[in-house]
Amino acid sequence: AQSVAQPEDQVNVAEGNPLTVKCTYSVSGNPYLFWYVQYPNRGLQFLLKYITGDNLVKGSYGFEAEFNKSQTSFHLKKPSALVSDSALYFCAVRDPRSNDYKLSFGAGTTVTVRA
């Protein structure tokens, strides 16, 4: 079974401050991990992924995430948040040994960046 948890429903930061959105996962083996962002009235957009290799992955819009196997975490980070980063963020996981290609999504974290 595969699952992710996003422990925070909401994250509020001031513009220019660092932004962190937390995600922990549960998968039997090595995971494929993803972050998606959803802006109001839009579909989910891919931000970044971890498949293998370097634990620090860089994605769109200045976001990055660090894969930590010992802590089973994949936190999303941005060094300096913008008001335009305000959105709903989803973490997702897939067990690559599974043949069904289903992603399991977290409940989402609403990020609000205040000016």
Interface with other proteins by CB under 8 A: which residues?
A: 32, 34, 36, 41-46, 49, 51, 90, 92, 94, 96, 100-103, 105-108
**Taking the complex as a whole, how short is the minimal distance between the CB of residue 115 and other proteins, in angstroms?**
26
Find where tokens 């549960």 sit: 26
**Taking the complex as a whole, how short is the minimal distance between the CB of residue 63 and other proteins, in angstroms?**
15
CA distance 24 to 22: 7
Q: Which is nearer to other proteins, 36 or 63 (CB)?
A: 36
Q: Which is nearer to other proteins, 34 or 67 (CB)?
A: 34
**Taking the complex as a whole, how short is the minimal distance between the CB of residue 19 and other proteins, in angstroms?**
21
Q: Which is nearer to other proteins, 34 or 113 (CB)?
A: 34
Q: How much of the chain is in helix, strand and coil states, percent to nearest 5?
A: 5, 50, 45
CA-CA distances (angstroms) from residue 96 to 1, 14, 34, 50, 100? 12, 37, 13, 12, 9
